[in-house]
Amino acid sequence: AAERVEDLDRARTFLRAVTALDHEHVEALRALVRLSDRAEDWSGAADARIRLAKSSTDGAERLELLLELGDLFDGRLGDAKRAEAAWRRVAQAAPNDPRPWDRLSRFYERSGEAAREVEARKVLLSRARTPADRAGHGLRLAALGRGALSDNALADEALKACAEDVRSGVDRNVRDVVALERLAAWQRLRGARDAERVVAAIAVTLGVASDELRALAPDGVVAGAGVESLLPAALDLLAPPALPPDLRELLVRTSTVLDPLVPFDAESRQADRLGSRPHGLRAEIDRWARMLDLGEVEIFLASQLPSIALPVGRSPARVLVAFAAPPSIVTRFAVARAPA
């Protein structure tokens, strides 16, 4: 009934009187929590939650109240120590609940307490339920190891722990901005700066909107990087499932021998050399040729192909492209796959 009173101050005064007479009147305390929130009386809201947490026999409710208390102290009331203490109590009472550790990790990140953040991130990494969560926590641990803590062993361990999860994000969606940024960060943290730039160039070439990646490769080109810089992570991103790394490596190493022995037969493919004529994918092919340091690529056109773009030679580089292949996300990815 008190919550229907228009004057929130009178309603809260009434509820305080009730709870003063009966310290364990949980319904009155719950109402006081709600009314204090409505009135934006954050000090009163925190006090009501503390009293309710002491009186409630519902364990789940007590944990929620402590989480909310931590949020109030951290945000509205600016009491960092009490916020930390509230979240720590939840972490102790519910060791499998990731929420207090998530709050603590962000709290320590803001306050610059690297060692304590590592503690929280390690817990979160071990209990993460999704690949994206594991990748995020692993990369943050690696960044702390390479940076504030100067602990390379920590960084290497974290990078190893999250490697598959970083890769899986790109496998699920090659144009996922966050996944590509994480792959680039993973390469950077392991010291592979060329590979980081190649990931950025792939993202730019595929039209992924990321200022962070575009700053690394503004025009989708990594000058002088060469095709070898695509090994292993970036190349695996592009390679067809039917072309495992060991088979591709064999084909690359033997291309100077195999190409002359089994030369591309344009006539049998009913293919026509493009030459200097325009084509919707010429600019895309030229961009990848520059990025991979392939020199000039010979482009052939055919009307019937099992794919949009097929590599048909490496020495010299040749690509077979479908006649009707207008620029699009799909055709651009096919072009990116062919020269790699």
**CA atoms of 142 and 121, how far apart (whole Å):** 10
Other beta carbons within 10 angstroms of residue 236's beta carbon come to 16
Does the pTM surpass 0.85? The reply is no
C-alpha closest to that of 222 among 199, 242, 238, 245: 199
Q: Please identify every stretch of the chain with a pLDDT value under 50, giving residue numbers as ranges.
A: 1-3, 5, 227-231, 234-235, 237-238, 240-243, 247-248, 250-251, 254-255, 257-259, 261, 329-330, 333, 338, 340
C-alpha closest to that of 161 among 199, 125, 117: 125
Q: What angle (nearest 5°) sits at the alpha carbon of residue 138, between those of residues 134 and 139? A: 120
**CA atoms of 324 and 130, how far apart (whole Å):** 40
With H, G, I as helix, E, B as strand and everything else as coil, classify residue 309.
strand
Peptide bond into 316 cis (omega under 30): yes
Summarised one tens digit per residue, pLDDT across range 118-166 is 999 999 999 998 999 999 999 999 999 999 999 999 999 999 999 999 9
Residue keyed to tokens 């008190």: 2
**CA atoms of 245 and 295, how far apart (whole Å):** 24
Predicted local distance difference test score (pLDDT) of residue 220: 65
**CA atoms of 56 and 60, how far apart (whole Å):** 10
**CA atoms of 241 and 245, how far apart (whole Å):** 10
Specify which residues 319 forms β-bridges with.
299, 311
**CA atoms of 299 and 320, how far apart (whole Å):** 6
**CA atoms of 178 and 187, how far apart (whole Å):** 14
Predicted local distance difference test score (pLDDT) of residue 291: 63
Predicted local distance difference test score (pLDDT) of residue 293: 64
Q: Own/partner pairs for 206-211, CB < 8 Å, 24+ apart? A: 206/174, 206/175, 206/329, 206/332, 206/333, 206/336, 207/175, 207/329, 207/332, 208/175, 208/177, 208/180, 209/177, 210/177, 210/180, 210/181
Q: 270 and 303 in contact (C-beta within 8 Å)?
A: yes
Please report which helix (H) or strand (E) contains residue 313, including its range.
strand 309-314
**CA atoms of 317 and 227, how far apart (whole Å):** 12
In terms of Cβ atoms closer than 10 Å to its own Cβ (0-12, 13-18, 19+), residue 197 is buried
Identity at 284, one-letter amino acid code = E
Predicted local distance difference test score (pLDDT) of residue 292: 64
Two tokens at 334? Answer: 């096919």
**CA atoms of 226 and 201, how far apart (whole Å):** 12
Residues in the chain: 340
